[in-house]
Chains A and B, each alone.
Chain A
Amino acid sequence: AQSVTQLDSHVSVSEGTPVLLRCNYSSSYSPSLFWYVQHPNKGLQLLLKYTSAATLVKGINGFEAEFKKSETSFHLTKPSAHMSDAAEYFCVVREDSNYQLIWGAGTKLIIKP
């Protein structure tokens, strides 16, 4: 069965510095992977998705993620953090057998002025 681990519960960066949110997965097959973002008191929004096309995936708001099969990782990055990026980020893997989504526990991104 698939699983997903977000390695940091909280990440704090200064505005204008790079962001790295780490995600590792386990999967028996070629997985589909996603990053969702949840701003305070809002619903969840898809940031980007990987579905066996290009390994470097670009998403909204300047975020991107790289699928590394050898490391079973799908880390989310952004070159320069903005105050509006403060939110909780979820890494998600799609289970092949029944198409259900397996969610990571989330990483809260804090942006310091």
Chain B
Amino acid sequence: NAGVTQTPKFRILKIGQSMTLQCTQDMNHNYMYWYRQDPGMGLKLIYYSVGAGITDKGEVPNGYNVSRSTTEDFPLRLELAAPSQTSVYFCASSPIRGLRSGANVLTFGAGSRLTVL
């Protein structure tokens, strides 16, 4: 099994450009998440989804958009890239049963390093 696959691994953007970070999971997990990781900080939740067609804002949603048209895919879109969005982005997924029982075990992708200049 591939688990959670993120693309691209690295990207450099100019201010004002737009791009989409792709995330796909093949574990049939209902919950999917996008986090950003800044140096010296813990992960901050950007958006999450509890199933196809349902998304919700996390802690730091400004400047981002998401969609969830299928169970497998959860792309993250940056419309007008800003230097403050320079970060490492992680996609993750978890089964709904794990969340309710408190186990909440996330499977993470390998990360996407984005630099905005």
Contact = CB atoms under 8 A, between A and B. Distances in A.
Nearest to B9: A41
A90 B58 contact: no
B110 interface: yes
A102 to B, nearest CB: 8
Interface in A55-106: 90, 94, 99-106
Interface string B12-51: 0000000000000000000000000000111111001000
Given A43-B90, A44-B90, A101 B106 contact: yes
B80 interface: no
B13 to A, nearest CB: 20
A17 interface: no
Interface in A1-46: 4, 9, 32, 34, 41-46
Contacts of B100: 99
Contact of B102 (A41, A44, A51): A51
Given A41-B111, A90-B42, 12 more contacts: A4-B42, A9-B40, A43-B108, A43-B109, A43-B110, A44-B108, A46-B106, A49-B105, A100-B45, A103-B44, A105-B40, A106-B41
15 contacts: A32-B102, A32-B104, A34-B104, A42-B110, A43-B90, A43-B109, A44-B90, A49-B104, A51-B102, A94-B104, A100-B48, A102-B42, A103-B42, A103-B44, A105-B41
